[in-house]
Structure 1
Amino acid sequence: MAALGTIILTNTSLRRVTVMPRAALTSSNYKMRVPYELKQGQSRHFHELPSGLNMEFIFQKGRDQKPQNPPLVFVHGSFHAAWCWAEHWLPFFSRHGFDCYALSLLGQGESDSPDGTVAGSLQTHAADVADFIQKEIQLPPVLLGHSFGGLIVQYYLANVGNGKLQEKELSHPYLAGGVLVCSVPPSGNSGLVWRYLFSKPIAAFKVTRSLAAKAFQTSLPLCKETFFSESMEDHLVLRYQKLMTESSRMPLFDLRKLNASLPVPPMKDSSIRILVVGANDDFIVDAEGLSETGRFYGVSPVCIEGVAHDIMLDCSWEKGAKMILSWLTDLDREMAK
């Protein structure tokens, strides 16, 4: 595993574009039965997508924001929603001068659900993120994705400027950078599953039972082992377990559509800076999965000691936040040149 550190690519200078923001205050019809109470300085909004569906986002403005600081847009993974970033990371990065936007993908959190029981795909989720950035964000943001949200970010990166989604051309707005946090690798999770079956059969059974059968929703020990460190306090695990159960009223992906989209195509614009971050105690994404993602983007992945898969909620959440802040600080210097 790589030691904790800062990884920076030095490519061509970042391009800047300005788009007009659009206030989005329409509301969703769905309300979580276990609502997430916003923290001081946070506000909940709803972005209306071209489909007419509303996508929840939680916003927290950066304090003493520097002109060169890019906005941060956060994309969650399965069984999570915007609240998972709002708990610790939005206040942290806001204190350091970054405007923060945490999204809830359709069918998750307090966002609307598509008609029927049709789950999303890499294409539809990336298109929704692109529409949000195009209409709500004024400067090229850094896009951060966790777990399967990282796979959505990878698809976005592969289609910046020239993606074809839903049978029409859709140019994904440019990014200042991408951060893949405990991300599913570009080939998907099948390699992870097979490695676990052959090397850690008991762990493979547990992770399958926890995620595929959703046993984490009713078993506190299994939820803790799947997402958090051993030292995580049970009352916090219980709180997050309830929020995760409420957040995922439909699957994040249609698995057939997902598998047909894999592996994710390579990124076409090498000037976009990429950071790949993993957790040493990750029960879901193993060391080889982290290395695969790093090789795919030509960067050395950073593995953080003492944290588990839910790096942004774990009891040592500051470790990942501080490392990403260091990377962002170096990115800011590049953008200011």
Structure 2
Amino acid sequence: MSISVSSCSFHFMKPHVFSAVMSGKTNKMRVPFDLKEGQSRIFHELPSGLSMEVIVQKKKKKKHKNVEKNQTLVFVHGSYHAAWCWAQHWLPFFSDSGYDCYALSLLGQGESDEPSDSVAGTLQTHARDVADFISRNIASPPIVLGHSFGGLIIQYYISNLGSDKLKENLYPKLRGAVLVCSVPPSGNSGLVWRYLFSNPIAAFKVTRSLAAKAFQTSLSLCKETFFSATMEDHIVKRYQELMKESSRMPLFDLRKLNASLPVPSVPNCPLEVLVLGAQNDFIVDAQGLKETADFYGVSPICVEAVAHDMMLDTSWEKGAEVILSWLNGLDE
């Protein structure tokens, strides 16, 4: 599934897109994420008038690089997370490697505005919000990275890419996609049922942790759900607080979401896809990882000794380096 893409050229953010919403913004998260050196927080105004938080980190100028990368990475988080989950480690890593990076907070998450509904959106509306950001701010096809349910959103985005001109206007072309510990195309129901039959205790823990949001109050359950056992408790506590503040409303109505699945198939997928999993993932099992990889006709890569939150875990650089190697291969 290769695609021949000419070298890309980027432009900077269009000032008018953000100028109307930059001023007067107040923190929605009572436990704010402090930006790192080289990062900025801007707000992308959607057609609805609501604004999405975007954490930006531009590539660092390399004095001794003969070839300069002209690629943009757009990061999409999953449930109970926001743009900050990428900004902690991966935005500095990839910007230092020569990429302009944009991490989005979906509506109702992080510092983004909340819609009037009881949930943040649907698979379709979240994908359209990502597409709107790309169409108005990124000049050349970017590489998108989606984690967990964010990966499912990216899968829906990909399913809408095609030769139809209307779709092309709504969903700009992508250079590539990285699905990180992604929920498979059929959704999370298969994961739950497999746990029920193979490991009832794990099924109970996952349901209690995520559906009942017990991870927000139990430090040990938060660690077991998202991180490696070696992560220090004070770091888990910090992420636990950020997760709680990030998810002021559910990302989806899961019943309606599962009723809309599986994601439509993508014959002759028009972009390169990397399917990346974690060996110690407590949420997405090996069969779920294989389902996603088979859907795109690629071989999955499973990173050893990391958990579901690969970008925040103690060995976060392992997954980042696999992705960087894959990105470098796109340039060859």
Taking structure 1 as the reference length, the TM-score comes to: 0.91
The answer to whether the 8 Å contact 2:8/2:70 transfers is: no
Q: State whether residues 50 and 114 of structure 2, in contact with CA within 8 Å, keep that contact through their aligned partners in structure 1.
A: yes
The residue number in structure 2 matching 1:260 is: 259
Cα deviation for residue 203 of structure 1 reads 0.3
**Matched residue, 1:121:** 122
Counterparts of 1:316-327 in structure 2, within 5 Å, are 316-327=315-326
- The equivalent residue for 2:274 is 275
SS at match of 1:204: helix
Residue identity opposite 1:217 in structure 2: Q
Q: Distance in 1 between matches of 2:264 and 2:155?
A: 8
Within 5 Å, which residues of 2 pair with 1:297-336? 297-333=296-332
What CA deviation, in whole Å up to 9, does each residue of 1:264-319 have, x standing for no partner?
Answer: 01225523000000000000000000000010000000000000000000000000
Contact kept, 8 Å, 1:14 with 1:271, in 2: the verdict is no
The structure with higher relative contact order (CA 8 Å, sep 6+) is 1
Secondary structure of 1:303's counterpart equals strand
Gaps of at least 5 residues in structure 1 are: 1-8
Amino acid at match of 1:177: G
How far apart, in 2, do the equivalents of 1:283 and 1:31 lie? 29
Aligned to 1:46: 43
Alignment match, 2:170: 171
Unaligned runs of 5+ in 2: none
2:106 equivalent in structure 1: 105
Distance 1:179 1:146 in 2: 9
Separation of aligned partners in 2, 1:83 and 1:327: 24
CA distance in structure 2 between the aligned counterparts of 1:187 and 1:29, rounded to whole angstroms = 38
Q: In the TM superposition, what whole-angstrom CA distance separates every residue of 1:156-180 from its partner, at most 9, and x where no partner exists?
A: 0001246899xx9953000000000
Say whether residues 1:224 and 2:223 are aligned partners.
yes
Are the equivalent residues in 1 in contact too, given 2:9–2:71 (CA < 8 A)? no
- Closer, same or farther: CA 86–289 of 1 in aligned 2, 3 Å: same
- State the secondary structure of the residue aligned to 2:135: helix
Q: Distance in 2 between matches of 1:251 and 1:322?
A: 32
Structure 1: how far apart are the matches of 2:30 and 2:151?
27
Aligned to 1:62: 59
Corresponding position of 2:242: 243
Secondary structure of the 1:267 match is coil
Same amino acid, percent of matched pairs: 69
- Structure 2 residue matching 1:183: 3-state secondary structure: coil
Alignment of 1:197-208 (within 5 A): 197-208=196-207
Q: How many residues align?
A: 322
**TM-score normalized by structure 2?**
0.92
Given that residues 14 and 272 in structure 1 are in contact (C-alpha distance below 8 angstroms), is that contact kept between their aligned partners in structure 2? no
User: Which residue does the alignment assign to 1:35?
Assistant: 32
**Which residue of structure 2 lines up, in the alignment, with residue 3 of structure 1?**
none
The residue identity in structure 1 corresponding to 2:30 is: R
Moved over 6 A (4+): 16-20, 162-165
Q: Look up the equivalent residue of 2:183 and give its one-letter code.
A: V
The residue matched to 1:43 in structure 2 has which SS?
strand
Q: In the superposition, relative to structure 1, how do residues 327 and 163 fare at CA in structure 2: closer, same or farther (>3 Å)?
A: same
